[in-house]
Amino acid sequence: MRLACCTVLLFVFRLLVGLPWFQVLPSILIFYLGSGGWKFIYIFAKTIGRDVHAAGVLIKVKWNVKRHLRERNTLPKIFAETVRRHGDKTALIFEGTGEKWSFRQLDEYSNRVANLLLQRGFVEGDVVALFMESRSQYVGLWLGMAKIGVEGALINFNLRLEALVHCVTISNAKAVVFGSELTEAMCEIHSSMGKTVQMLCSGDWDPKHVPVGTECLEPLLDAAPTHLPSRPDHRLFYIYTSGTTGMPKAAIVVHSRYYRMAALVYYGFGMTSDDVMYDCLPLYHSAGNIVGVGQCLIHGMTVVIKKKFSASRFWDDCAKYNCTIVQYIGEICRYLLNQPVKDIERQHRVRMALGNGLRQSIWEEFTSRFNVPQIAEFYGATECNCSLGNFGNMTGACGFNSQILPFIYPIRLVKVDEETMELIRGPDGVCIPCKPGEPGQLVGRIIQNDPLRRFDGYVNEGATTKKIANNVFKKGDSAYLSGDVLIMDQYGYMYFKDRTGDTFRWKGENVSTTEVEGTLSRLLDMKDVVVYGVEVPGAEGKAGMAAVADPERSTDLEKFGKDLEKALPPYARPVFLRFLNEVNKTGTYKFQKTEMRREGFDPSMTSNKLYFLNPSRGRYVELHQEAIFSL
């Protein structure tokens, strides 16, 4: 707009009035700056480097994806190239045993898997469920399946009973490969599964204690040939959404999406094949298996696989294996801060922490205490195409969108009722974009024929439609709804605020549970704190309730109440407190609130100690059954 005015002025001054250049240019510049243009120049200067880098990354990844699709390069083909280049370099280290696999060994193992499945009559499009804890074999198994077009269903190894049967059933798996450590879970569900499902067990096992008909995987693999069978490509595997509410959904991952997710992170954050990645995240999840392991398969990086995250061993492992990049997710960073200080936490070569969900309240404490120069925070769900990355090393941000050319990347924040998740629409029925500083839901436009932008959906079609809305950017379009509320600053940096539906209203104000959780946890020595809104009969909105994991009951309520007065405005202070030994988490360290929200503050629903904030005394007092009636 402003630029258009300047062009018109230029035209008028030069051609119609005939003023000389030395008068025209300064006056246009003064007009431009005077009309607010200098702010744009400032933002331009601050962000142009970041934007050019990001544009370069996007173009490079897009070009590579197109080339791979044109040349029909599947992930196994890309991996074959990695093996050719890196051959005897270490590909995977399994921290549990210290066992190292070179790229060649990983290749041979996965070829054996592929040949075994071929011998057994598996064909392209068949599904095999993979149910085991993280280890190198896990990667070899799904990679081997991919080599013959068999799709893996990567099942969360924490699942049991109905949830486990549900995940195996919706994937239509013809076989289940399970780790011997999960034999008990398999025995429990064996009778509920179809008779035709083949069972293969990996690891040390006892034939007496496994479900009837189970075969041992290792001898079969040893007998299988190590050459590469030939075939084309399709879907790679299914990943299940973590399911903080309800049953998990299976999200489809195709080869190009796997490549894209791994490559965006690799180029965006400036990694090299000489980096060593510490991957302590579960391999049934995209962060561990794509963002982590993908760097090994595609870019030839050494990846250290940890069976299970351990806060106390974290920095020792990093030092031992000379890791330069660590992965984190959800609450992991807070658990590390919760550990006693020791020397090793600064004596390592970690130059970057890569992940998502680092809370702004602990961001700087994390980088300074652990001597990690860069936080590579990114945003993006497996099934979401609206990925963001904090390429600019900006404290607290999870990504950005260009302010110079905001339309290049088709994502946007749109206004939403943070409580009900309803999109707020203008008079023309199209969503309203947010200005800097206004919270809004992140959405990504859907263009089905662009492989970079495609939403591959869920296995179950009904689940797909809930995540898609129409008339979002303009009339007649469709867009993916991320379900998360973010805020953008004037430079275009985006900051995670809350999940939609997690915000609640109290005393006429919006309370972000994410923010309150961050503050309370800091006041309570990094304890696990879960915040949610509960309905109080007769009161408008929802009252805040905080569940605090405190097995020793070490919280000093008097002090906590005082600290809280300084840290939070009155409406954000939790009205109810609940102390318990442990809060339930998903396999990816996200809190599960649904159950606790349902139980509310009714003492008869739980044996936990409950407290409420007595408004007249400004202190927390114990809540008894009778007190409820006088609230």
Angle at the Cα of 336 from the Cα atoms of 525 and 325, rounded to 5 degrees = 150
Contact call for residue 274 and ligand NAG (CB under 6 A): no
Rule CB under 6 A: say whether 321 interacts with ligand NAG. yes
Q: Which residues contact 29 (CB under 8 A, 6 or more apart)?
A: none
In the complex with ligand NAG, the residue whose CB is nearer, 171 or 385, is 385
**Encoded tokens for 508:** 């006429």
Nearer to ligand NAG, 20 or 427 (CB): 427
| Span from 123-131, 156-164, 209-217, 404-412 in contact with ligand NAG (CB under 6 A) | 404-412
Least separation, in Å, of the C-beta of 249 and ligand NAG? Answer: 17
Pairing type for strands 198-202 and 215-216 reads parallel
User: Using CA atoms, how far apart are residues 284 and 261, in angstroms rounded to an integer?
Assistant: 15
> Of 69 and 447, which CB lies nearer to ligand NAG in the complex structure?
447
Q: Collapsing DSSP states into helix, strand and coil, what is residue 545?
A: strand
Q: How far is CA 237 from the centre of its chain?
A: 18
Q: Which amino acid is at 592?
A: Q
Q: What is the CA radius of gyration of the chain?
A: 27
Task: Report, in Å, the least distance between residue 418 CB and ligand NAG.
Answer: 4
Q: Is 386 in the site for ligand NAG (CB under 6 A)?
A: yes
CA neighbor of 442 nearest in space, from 498, 370, 506, 365: 498
Burial class (CB in 10 A: 0-12, 13-18, 19+), 60: middle
26, 213, 373, 618: which one binds ligand NAG (CB under 6 A): 373
Q: Does 480 participate in binding ligand NAG (rule CB under 6 A)?
A: yes
Distance of CA 577 to the CA centre of its chain: 29
Angle between helices 21-32 and 2-11 (to 10 degrees): 160
Q: Does 595 bind ligand NAG (CB under 6 A)?
A: yes
Does position 224 bind ligand NAG by CB under 6 A? no
- If one asks whether residue 426 binds ligand NAG (CB under 6 A), the answer comes out as no
- Region of 37-45, 148-156, 443-451, 558-566 interacting with ligand NAG (CB under 6 A): 443-451
Please select the residue that binds ligand NAG; options are 330, 410, 492, 561, rule is CB under 6 A.
410
Structure tokens at 478: 């469709």
Residue 447 binds to ligand NAG (criterion: CB under 6 A): yes
Q: Which of 296, 293, 258, 266 is nearest to 451 (CA)?
A: 258
Q: Measured from the CB of residue 145, what is the shortest distance to ligand NAG in angstroms?
A: 25
Stretch that binds ligand NAG, among 106-114, 176-184, 216-224, 406-414 (CB under 6 A): 406-414
Q: Is residue 102 near ligand NAG by the rule CB under 6 A? A: no
- Return the residue of 168, 303, 411, 486 that touches ligand NAG, per CB under 6 A: 411
Instruction: Choose, by CB under 6 A, the member of 19, 584, 590, 619 that binds ligand NAG.
Output: 584
Q: Which of 37, 294, 444, 600 binds ligand NAG (CB under 6 A)?
A: 444
Cβ-based burial of 190 (10 A; exposed 0-12, middle 13-18, buried ≥19):
middle
Asked if 540 touches ligand NAG (CB under 6 A), the answer is no
Helix/strand/coil for 630:
coil
CA distance 260 to 298: 10
Cβ-based nearer residue to ligand NAG, 395 or 460? 395
Q: Compute the distance between CA of residue 482 and CA of residue 411 in angstroms, rounded to an integer.
A: 10
Q: How far is the CB of 443 from ligand NAG (least distance, A)?
A: 9
Pattern 495-524, ligand NAG, x by CB under 6 A: --------------xx--------------
CA dihedral 428, 502, 403, 1 (to 10 degrees): 30
Cross-strand pairs, 375: 353
Q: Does residue 385 bind ligand NAG (CB under 6 A)?
A: yes
473 sits near ligand NAG (criterion: CB under 6 A): no
> Which helix (H) or strand (E) segment is 188 a member of?
helix 183-189
* Contact criterion met (CB below 8 Å) for 141 and 177: yes
Name which position in 455, 491, 576, 612 contacts ligand NAG (CB under 6 A).
455
- In the bound state with ligand NAG, the residue whose beta carbon lies nearer, of 214 and 555, is 555
CB 258 within 8 A of CB 140: no
What are the tokens at 554?
Answer: 């070490």
- Residue from 338, 360, 393, 614 touching ligand NAG (CB under 6 A): that is 393
* 440 touching ligand NAG, by CB under 6 A: no
Q: Does 445 bind ligand NAG (CB under 6 A)?
A: yes
From the list 60, 77, 166, 453, which residue makes contact with ligand NAG (rule: CB under 6 A)? 453
Nearer to ligand NAG, 215 or 599 (CB): 599
Among 374, 471, 490, 614, binds ligand NAG (CB under 6 A): 374
Burial class (CB in 10 A: 0-12, 13-18, 19+), 4: exposed
Looking at the Cβ atoms of 175 and 511, the one nearer to ligand NAG is 511
Shortest Cβ 282–ligand NAG spacing (Å): 18
C-alpha span between 235 and 56 (Å, rounded): 28
172 binds ligand NAG (CB under 6 A): no
Residue 409 CB, shortest distance to ligand NAG, in Å, is: 6
Phi, psi (rounded to 5 degrees) for 623: -105, 125
DSSP-assigned beta bridge partners for residue 379? 388
The answer to whether 596 contacts ligand NAG (rule: CB under 6 A) is yes
**Contact (Cβ atoms closer than 8 angstroms) between residue 254 and residue 261:** no
CA separation for the pair 259, 261 (Å, rounded): 6
Q: Which residues are at the interface with ligand NAG (CB under 6 A)?
A: 321-322, 373-374, 385-386, 393, 395, 409-411, 417-418, 444-448, 453-455, 480, 509-510, 580, 584, 595-596
